[in-house]
Amino acid sequence: MFQNQSMPPRGKINAASRRSSTLLPLLLVLTFAFVAAPRAFSQSTDTNAPSSPAALSKADYVVIKPVANMYRKPTQTSDVVSQAIFGSNAIRIAGKWHWVNIRTDDGYTGWVQSSAVHKLKGQRYGTSGDVVRVSDLSANLYREPDVTKHAPLLTLPWQSRLEALPDKVDEHNRWLKVRLPDGQLAFVQNGDVSSDFAPLTIEQTIAVAKKFLGVTYTWGGSSDFGFDCSGFTQMLMRLRGMVMPRDADLQAAWSGVVPVERKDLQAGDLLFFGDRPDHITHTGMYIGNCEFIHDTTHEHPGVQISVLDEQPWTKLLVACRRPKT
């Protein structure tokens, strides 16, 4: 979305102002191809400041769609500000018609259609007992342990959580029985999920990042059905056991990172781009050898590896950050 114009960092100005803002012609040429996804609201009005861990320890809803768009307003004609994937728990902020304003575990807020969430009656979904998550780019769920009898009930994206049941399904341990958030039962192939939630090393994270090469760019995207730049880096940092803010400018200012000089870059460091340090519009992860991986619309939309010393990136790099370990 808006691939041919430069976009400001999330939440600095409202959507109408964002679309009408202009920069110098040179910057329009250089920055048209990479943009940070839009914020739900201005940081000063509500809103998307991360909630405290205590506030996020409970949940009112769980997402039951593979990927639920989170909108700035309760209408599908509004901006998509982020996404929540299947199994994500959320707090209810408000309701209106057939819409619910939710806050997800990263402290981000947005409106989702009520059909995309299921109301919880107590414990958060997928946080106790035997829990698995999708470990491949996607996983099909079936109504029986067979891939041929019926079409999949759902196709879930990377990292979707499922509650696993102890029932032995087949003698070869190919299938796993799971309970969905609405209580429905389903079956998933064991090869598509993992119960290992241990944080990854930098090397492992980079290897996972490369699995998404070619996955399309999606404005506001937070899943492998389509990321935006900051949604992609947020996901990579989550693999390392860190819950980082959703927006590129807030990621650069996050207390979980420290500044680092360009000459001292190491694999796993985060890169931030813009026309000046206080106007960050893009981000990616450095992978070594003067290369970085990112989700961008530059040249072709999607996750790709670029060379930091090449244009437009070398001119527009404004900040480097190293995650605290």
Q: How confident is the model at residue 243 (pLDDT cuts 50, 70, 90)?
A: very high
β-strand partners of 294: 304
pLDDT at residue 57, rounded to an integer = 64
pLDDT tens column, 300-321: 899 999 999 999 999 999 999 9
pLDDT at residue 34, rounded to an integer = 44
CA dihedral (214, 217, 223, 229) positive or negative: positive
The CA-based angle 53-37-81, given to 5 degrees, is: 60
pLDDT at residue 58, rounded to an integer = 81
pLDDT at residue 262, rounded to an integer = 97
All structural domains of the chain with their residue ranges: 61-119, 131-194, 202-323
pLDDT at residue 258, rounded to an integer = 97
Structure tokens given for 50: 């991360």
β-strand partners of 286: 292
Say yes or no to pLDDT of 142 above 60. yes
Cα 94 from Cα 99, distance rounded (Å) = 9
CATH number of the structural domain 131-194: 2.30.30.40
Q: Which CATH number applies to 61-119: 3.40.630.30, 3.30.465.10, 1.25.40.10, 2.30.30.40?
A: 2.30.30.40
**Which residues contact residue 157 at a Cβ distance below 8 angstroms, ignoring those fewer than 6 apart?**
66, 67, 85, 86, 134, 137, 138, 223, 224, 225
The CA-based angle 109-78-43, given to 5 degrees, is: 40
Q: How confident is the model at residue 189 (pLDDT cuts 50, 70, 90)?
A: very high
Q: Which long-range contacts (CB under 8 A, 24 or more apart) does 304-313 make?
A: 304/213, 304/214, 305/210, 305/213, 308/265, 308/271, 311/30, 312/30, 312/31, 312/33, 313/273
131-194: same fold as 61-119? yes
Asked whether 102 and 43 are in contact (CB, 8 A), the reply is no
pLDDT tens column, 28-39: 333 334 444 444
Name the CATH topology of 202-323.
endopeptidase fold (from Nostoc punctiforme) (3.90.1720)
Rounded-to-10 torsion of CA 269, 83, 199, 59: 130
User: Which carries the bigger pLDDT value, residue 42 or residue 192?
Assistant: 192
